[in-house]
C-alpha cells in the first residue's frame, strides 16, 4: 500500500505572520486563490486529512515556525480545530469557514 501524506508549500509574501490554508473535502489549495491577506501562506499542495495534525506539526518544526494562524474551510475547519485543540501554544488565531457536521444526501448529489 502506498502511503499518502500531505505536502505543504510555504509562500513567503513578506509578512511577519503565517496563515495555514486548509481546504475542504472537495477542493484543494486553489479554493484560496482569491485571498489577499496580510500573511505568508502555508498551503497544502497535496492534502490527506488522516494524519494531518502530525504532518502539519512536523512541517512547522522543520521550518522552525513556532506559531501560525489557521484558516480552515469546510472539512479543513474541523482539521484546523483539531490541530488547535492539540497544539494551543502554536496558534495565533483560528478562522473557521463553512463547517458543518453533516451533509444531507440531496446536497451531496447536487455537488457531484
According to the model, what pLDDT value does residue 3 have? 56
According to the model, what pLDDT value does residue 2 have? 52
According to the model, what pLDDT value does residue 1 have? 47
Q: Which pTM was predicted?
A: 0.85
Higher pLDDT: 4 or 84? It is: 84
According to the model, what pLDDT value does residue 105 have? 82
Model confidence pLDDT, tens digit, residues 47-81 = 788 889 999 999 999 999 999 999 999 889 999 99
Q: What is the DSSP string of 34-95?
A: T---SSEEEEEEE--GGGHHHHHHHHHHHTT---EEEEEETHHHHHHHHHHHH-GGGEEEEE
Residues 87, 42, 57, CA angle at the centre, nearest 5°? 30
- Poorest-pLDDT segment among 1-10, 31-40, 84-93: 1-10
- Poorest-pLDDT segment among 11-15, 43-47, 94-98: 43-47
Which range has highest mean pLDDT (15-19, 31-35, 100-104)? 15-19
Amino acid at each position: 500500500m502506498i502511503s499518502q501524506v500531505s505536502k505543504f508549500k510555504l509562500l513567503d509574501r513578506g509578512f511577519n505572520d503565517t496563515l495555514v490554508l486548509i481546504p475542504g473535502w472537495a477542493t484543494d489549495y486553489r479554493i484560496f486563490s482569491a485571498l489577499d491577506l496580510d500573511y505568508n501562506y502555508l498551503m497544502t499542495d497535496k492534502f490527506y486529512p488522516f494524519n494531518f495534525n502530525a504532518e502539519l506539526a512536523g512541517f512547522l518544526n522543520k521550518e522552525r515556525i513556532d506559531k501560525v494562524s489557521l484558516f480552515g474551510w469546510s472539512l479543513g475547519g474541523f482539521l484546523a480545530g483539531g490541530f488547535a485543540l492539540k497544539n494551543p501554544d502554536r496558534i495565533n488565531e483560528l478562522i473557521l469557514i463553512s463547517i458543518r457536521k453533516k451533509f444531507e444526501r440531496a446536497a451531496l448529489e447536487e455537488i457531484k
